[in-house]
Amino acid sequence: MIRNTLKELLYAKKYKEIHDMLVAYNPVDLAELLMELDDSELAAIFRMIDKEKAAEVFSYMEDDQRQTLLKGFTSQEISYILDTMYTDDAVDFLEDMPANVVTKLLEHVSGETRADINRLLKYPEDSAGSIMTVEYVELSPEMTVGQALAKIRRVGIESETVYTCYVVERKKLVGIVTAKSLMTNAETVQIADLMQDNFISVRTTDDQEDAAKLFRKYGLIAIPVLDHEERLVGIVTFDDAIGVLTDETTEDMHKMAAMTANEDSYLKTGVFRHARNRIGWLLFLMFSATITGTIITRYEAAIAAVPLLVSFIPMLTDTGGNCGSQSSTLVIRGLAVDELHFKDLFTVVWKEFRVSLVVGTVLAAANGIRIYVMQRDLGLAAVIGISLIGTIIVAKMVGCMLPIFAKQLRLDPAIMAAPLITTIVDTCSIIIFFKIATMVFHL
């Protein structure tokens, strides 16, 4: 609707009206609105956004649209956008571009910005250094609150966050001061007396997920990032942390469903890329599942004698798979949010064992009764009941232990999820089932 209004106004050359419409929009919403426009309209509308806001809108746009815009931009426009964007947003954007384009784009920006961007581009992907920004307020311990406030007034407008200021002495971070304490203390108080010297920080090379978890744990707005010599080189802000936590969880979920994690959105990913992300695990699991098939062929005689046995296979393997994936999901998520650790292994195993006894008994009783009522065959009811209990115990044991061991071996626990557990548990449940059946029926 708004999109159509914009198109009409553009066609009617009512530029003033368009500008006034755009002013009312939040940059995030504006980026969303621009996404719906055609390439030709995009550039025209984008140029009607106020300059400073345009740089912010640009940082929220999708890669392909930004590339469209860049093609039509003058070097002045490129340099203004890149100089005005926060360094971390600019780096985010440049990381996804071909190296020759990056070099060309950087020719247009100021020397300082270029140096900052080049430095950040060097940090390994997924490191705290790669998501940090270099815009922050630096104070020194000898300053007074009044001087600090004056400095914020002077430089603060360019800093992504001014709510935590960093006290630096000989390049080393010695303390932090919150804007709250600056605002609530007298102008004459010295920074050295106000600052907290007991602060949380991360290293440039730390994993971005570990950094993000600190925000969740301590409720922080920003975390200072130090190099290997304790020098302050940047900060990570909470909005980036929320993004990292969301992305890492999505990645975990994809891995838990036997897929290679993919940073691009579902709709932006092509069919062949989607297929490639999924085929590897499917092939591996498919061939693993043939083991279960091979085991079944060993019991051909039993099947020939009691053909009904086959009909219980899906129920048994599905239930085993479901029980295993319940346990593995609980443990994988517990490990991811730092609620569970390797030291809890025995507690978890003991708890899952007891849970599987309760669950197994209930399911076995329910199914046993059903079979006895429908088939009037106590032997069969017993075989299914006992097999169910055995399968459920094995499933829950495997499901809870594998992710914990994976973590200890520095593998991603998320791969020890439903698909792999199901395949392993399938084999076990088939063996348990036929062993018990051949025993009870003397086959």
CB of 443 to a copy of itself, least distance (A): 15
Of 77 and 247, which CB lies nearer to a copy of itself in the complex structure? Answer: 247
Q: Which of 406, 411, 364 is nearest to 385 (CA)?
A: 364
Enumerate residues 6+ apart whose C-beta is below 8 A from 214.
200, 202, 220, 223
Residues between 173 and 192 with contacts to a copy of itself, criterion CB under 8 A: 179-180, 182-184
Distances (CA, A) of 84 to 88, 93, 135, 308, 372: 11, 13, 11, 73, 75
CB of 387 to a copy of itself, least distance (A): 12
Residues between 414 and 443 with contacts to a copy of itself, criterion CB under 8 A: 418-419, 422-423, 426, 430
> Residues touching a copy of itself: how many (CB under 8 A)?
107
CB atoms within 10 A of CB 366: 12
Among 5, 75, 110, 294, binds a copy of itself (CB under 8 A): 294
For the four alpha carbons of 247, 250, 252 and 255, in that order, the dihedral sign comes to: negative
Is residue 290 at the binding interface for a copy of itself, with CB under 8 A as the rule? yes
Among 191, 202, 233, 359, binds a copy of itself (CB under 8 A): 359
DSSP per residue over 99-151, as a string?
HHHHHHHHTTS-HHHHHHHHHHHTSPTTBHHHH-BS---EE-TT-BHHHHHHH
Is residue 271 at the binding interface for a copy of itself, with CB under 8 A as the rule? yes
- Of 167-175, 228-236, 331-339, 435-443, the window that binds a copy of itself (rule: CB under 8 A) is 331-339
CB of 315 to a copy of itself, least distance (A): 4
Is residue 265 at the binding interface for a copy of itself, with CB under 8 A as the rule? yes
Q: Which of 61, 129, 48 is nearest to 91 (CA)?
A: 129
Is residue 152 at the binding interface for a copy of itself, with CB under 8 A as the rule? yes
* Interhelix angle 27-35/51-60, nearest 10 degrees: 60
Residues between 202 and 221 with contacts to a copy of itself, criterion CB under 8 A: 215-219, 221
Among 325, 401, 412, 428, binds a copy of itself (CB under 8 A): 325
Of 79 and 292, which CB lies nearer to a copy of itself in the complex structure? Answer: 292
- Asked whether 151 and 113 are in contact (CB, 8 A), the reply is no
Beta bridge partners of 144: 190
Assign 219 to helix, strand or coil.
coil
Among 14, 16, 20, 26, binds a copy of itself (CB under 8 A): 26
